[in-house]
């Protein structure tokens, strides 16, 4: 069972740390946030085994975090050799990977306000994994890289030369399999977050249209008419008049097109949870990433329907889709263990030319996965930086905000109408400022 958190990620991790009873293993890709470091110190003080793996960079060595403070109270720190630029494995690692007891793993990135040195192109968000196998796999990957796994007694020592070389070469087979799994899950979590962001924007669009639509239409029409009138007397106003006319007609066109669509359903928290769960389940079954090549076209169709139904909050349509997906009987990608087995082959035949080629192919695959995840981060970031998202996410009470905008629009509309009614050039200019 995995869960994704794109808001208040730190609060989630902090809660999980507070529930941890015996061991915290943390790998950070760049630098560690002070909040996280302080939490590790606190865990250690409470008697937990704390292991931290971080890159041996000047930034970290000169950081204001007093690493010795953690060592002094029995925490283990492993300084990994800084990764080579472009090394596929290290670049694919999430900013943070934390294994807590045998219970769960968090992978991802904390908000920029918490850890400003992280890669800005990644969207903050944590995926929490509750799968025991994955927790073991994560600990194995971090242990192996840090040199903890082989010789516990030597914990805290610098990673072994062998593992350093391996890292520079693109990571071990187990590491690559782990990374691929992390990347794919992050991509699906990001896809789900995109869908949820868009669902909220659709809901906001609908509510905004109900509250402001008629007034907006009148306002745009009045402004276009006024500027048209002004342009007849003043050449310099022509461009502005043309732009106002264009905006009005664009709005009318968007309005007509949007009116053809079914509006989104308003859902309570329980219904929304159900909707999200069903969406995730179906996305796993019919996302084009997840089916064999022969099923691509049908899967793309069903996934498109899934997106539309999710936007509308249409639970009935999702249930119908569930049946369609079951009927389609998609074959999952047969490559479930491909990376692991291929990489295993590499290890066994390490000296052969073929194995080297396989290694290169695996690294290329990780890069491709990373690039695809990057695209989704970009898409999510674009949505979140839109004016609409900024408004809807910052307004706790949409109705109140709409009421305020109504007032503004009403005031402006009255100004334009007053001038238009006088039909004369001598009327006061409503666009003029005092």
Partner 1 sequence: MPDTVLPGSALRTVAAQALTLASTNRLGLVAQTLDDVQQRETRVFFEAHLPLLQHCVQNQYPLDAELLAAHAMRWDWRRLSASAAIPWSLDLLSQFEDCWDWDTLSKNRYLPWSGALLQAFVRRWNWGLLSGNPALPWSLELLETFAPLWDWRVLSRNAELPWTGTLITGNTHLWDWVGLSWNDGLPWNVTLMTRFAERWDWTGLSANPGLPLDADLVAEFAPFWNWSWLSRNTQIAADAALLEAYADNWDWTALSQRRLLRWNAELLAQFDSRWDWKALSANAALPWDEALLLRWEDQWDWQALSANTAPWWSDALLERYAERWDWEALSENPALPWSPALVARWAAHWDWDKLSWNPALPWSQDGAAAMLAAHAERWDWAGLSQNEAMPWSQAWVDAFPDQWDWERLSANPALFAALARGSAGPDALAGFIQRYADRWNWATLSGQAALPWSQALYRQCAAHAFAHLVAQHQDFGVCVLPADVVATLLAVLDSGDILPGAEFA
Q: Which residues within the stretch 290-309 sit at the binding site for partner 1 (CB under 8 A)? A: 290, 300, 303-304, 306-308
Number of neighbours of residue 47 by Cβ within 10 angstroms: 10
Closest CA to 17 of 46, 54, 56: 46
Contacts to partner 1 from residues 81-120, by CB under 8 A: none
Residue 108 φ/ψ, nearest 5 degrees: 135, -145
Contacts to partner 1 from residues 315-354, by CB under 8 A: 332-340
Q: How many residues does the chain have?
A: 434
Closest approach of partner 1 to the CB of residue 45, in Å: 7
Q: Is 56 an interacting residue with respect to partner 1 (CB under 8 A)? A: no
Q: Which stretch binds partner 1 (CB under 8 A): 10-18, 190-198, 317-325, 420-428?
A: 190-198
Q: Judged by CB, which is closer to partner 1: 251, or 427? A: 251
Contacts to partner 1 from residues 350-389, by CB under 8 A: 365, 368-369, 371-373, 375-376, 386-388
Q: Per the structure block, which two tokens stand in for 29?
A: 């890709």
User: How distant, in Å, are the alpha carbons of 7, 289, 342, 352 from that of 356?
Assistant: 42, 27, 11, 7
Q: Which stretch binds partner 1 (CB under 8 A): 57-65, 94-102, 106-114, 151-159?
A: 57-65
Closest approach of partner 1 to the CB of residue 351, in Å: 26
Burial of 203 (0-12, 13-18, 19+ CB in 10 A): buried
Please pick, from the candidates 24, 40, 104, 188, the single residue that binds partner 1 as defined by CB under 8 A.
Answer: 188
Q: Per the structure block, which two tokens stand in for 27?
A: 């790998």
Cα torsion 107, 111, 115, 119: sign: positive
Question: Would you give the distance in Å from CA 54 to the centre of its chain?
Answer: 24
Contacts to partner 1 from residues 250-269, by CB under 8 A: 250-251, 253-255, 257-258, 260-261
Q: Total binding residues for partner 1 by CB under 8 A?
A: 105
Closest approach of partner 1 to the CB of residue 261, in Å: 6
Q: Which stretch binds partner 1 (CB under 8 A): 14-22, 79-87, 146-154, 209-217?
A: 209-217
Q: Judged by CB, which is closer to partner 1: 67, or 238? A: 67
Please pick, from the candidates 18, 66, 150, 326, the single residue that binds partner 1 as defined by CB under 8 A.
Answer: 66
DSSP per-residue letters across 218-239? HHHHHHHHHHHHHHHH-GGGHH
Asked whether the beta carbons of 177 and 193 are under 8 A apart, the reply is: no
Contacts to partner 1 from residues 404-423, by CB under 8 A: 404-405, 407-409, 411-412
Q: Is 432 an interacting residue with respect to partner 1 (CB under 8 A)? A: no
Closest approach of partner 1 to the CB of residue 300, in Å: 7
Q: Are strands 49-56 and 125-129 parallel, antiparallel or unpaired?
A: unpaired
Torsion of CA 231, 236, 242, 248, to 10 degrees: -70
Q: How far apart are CA 254 and CA 251, in angstroms?
A: 5
Q: Judged by CB, which is closer to partner 1: 29, or 290? A: 290
Please pick, from the candidates 311, 362, 380, 416, the single residue that binds partner 1 as defined by CB under 8 A.
Answer: 311
Q: How far apart are CA 46 and CA 341, in angstroms?
A: 41
| DSSP designation for 387 | H
Closest approach of partner 1 to the CB of residue 79, in Å: 14
Closest approach of partner 1 to the CB of residue 40, in Å: 14
What region, left, alpha or beta, does residue 119 occupy, with left being phi > 0 and alpha being psi -120 to 50 degrees? beta
Stated as kind and residue range, the H or E segment containing 52 is strand 49-56
Q: Is 131 an interacting residue with respect to partner 1 (CB under 8 A)? A: yes
Q: How far apart are CA 110 and CA 309, in angstroms?
A: 31
Q: Is 397 an interacting residue with respect to partner 1 (CB under 8 A)? A: yes
Closest approach of partner 1 to the CB of residue 422, in Å: 20
Q: Judged by CB, which is closer to partner 1: 157, or 383? A: 383
Q: Judged by CB, which is closer to partner 1: 59, or 165? A: 59
Q: How far apart are CA 31 and CA 24, in angstroms?
A: 17
Please pick, from the candidates 56, 218, 289, 314, the single residue that binds partner 1 as defined by CB under 8 A.
Answer: 289
Closest approach of partner 1 to the CB of residue 71, in Å: 7
């Amino acid at each position: 069972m995995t869960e994704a958190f794109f808001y208040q990620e730190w609060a989630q991790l902090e809660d999980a740390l507070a529930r941890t009873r015996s061991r915290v293993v943390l790998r950070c890709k760049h630098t560690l946030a002070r909040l996280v470091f302080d939490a590790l110190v606190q865990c250690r003080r409470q008697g937990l085994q704390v292991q931290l793996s971080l890159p041996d960079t000047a930034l970290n060595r000169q950081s204001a975090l007093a690493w010795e403070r953690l060592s002094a109270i029995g925490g283990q720190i492993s300084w990994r050799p800084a990764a080579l630029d472009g090394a596929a494995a290290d670049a694919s690692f999430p900013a943070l990977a934390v294994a807590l007891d045998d219970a769960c793993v968090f992978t991802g990135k904390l908000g920029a306000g918490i850890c400003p040195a992280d890669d800005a192109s990644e969207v903050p968000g944590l995926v929490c994994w509750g799968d025991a196998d994955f927790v073991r796999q994560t600990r194995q990957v971090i242990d192996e890289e840090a040199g903890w796994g082989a010789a516990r007694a030597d914990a805290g020592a610098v990673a072994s030369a062998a593992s350093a070389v391996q890292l520079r070469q693109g990571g071990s087979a187990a590491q690559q399999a782990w990374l691929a799994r992390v990347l794919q899950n992050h991509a699906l979590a990001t896809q789900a977050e995109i869908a949820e962001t868009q669902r909220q924007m659709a809901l906001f669009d609908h509510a905004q249209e109900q509250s402001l639509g008629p007034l907006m239409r009148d306002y745009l029409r009045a402004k276009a008419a006024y500027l048209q009138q002004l342009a007849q007397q003043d050449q310099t106003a022509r461009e502005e008049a043309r732009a106002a006319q264009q905006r009005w007609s664009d709005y009318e066109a968007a309005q007509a097109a949007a009116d053809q669509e079914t509006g989104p359903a308003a859902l309570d928290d329980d219904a929304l949870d159900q909707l999200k769960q069903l969406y995730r389940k179906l996305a796993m079954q019919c996302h084009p990433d997840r089916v064999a090549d022969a099923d691509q076209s049908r899967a793309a169709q069903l996934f498109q329907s899934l997106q539309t139904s999710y936007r509308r909050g249409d639970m009935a349509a999702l249930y119908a889709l569930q049946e369609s997906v079951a009927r389609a009987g998609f074959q999952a990608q047969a490559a479930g263990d491909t990376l692991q087995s291929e990489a295993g082959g590499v290890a066994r035949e390490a000296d052969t030319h073929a194995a080297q080629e396989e290694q290169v192919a695996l690294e290329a695959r990780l890069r491709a996965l990373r690039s695809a995840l990057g695209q989704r981060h970009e898409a999510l970031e674009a949505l979140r930086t839109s004016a609409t998202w900024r408004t809807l996410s910052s307004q706790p009470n949409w109705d109140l905000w709409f009421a305020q905008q109504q007032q503004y629009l009403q005031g402006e509309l009255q100004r334009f109408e007053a001038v238009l009614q006088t039909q004369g050039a001598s009327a006061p200019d409503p666009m003029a400022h005092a």
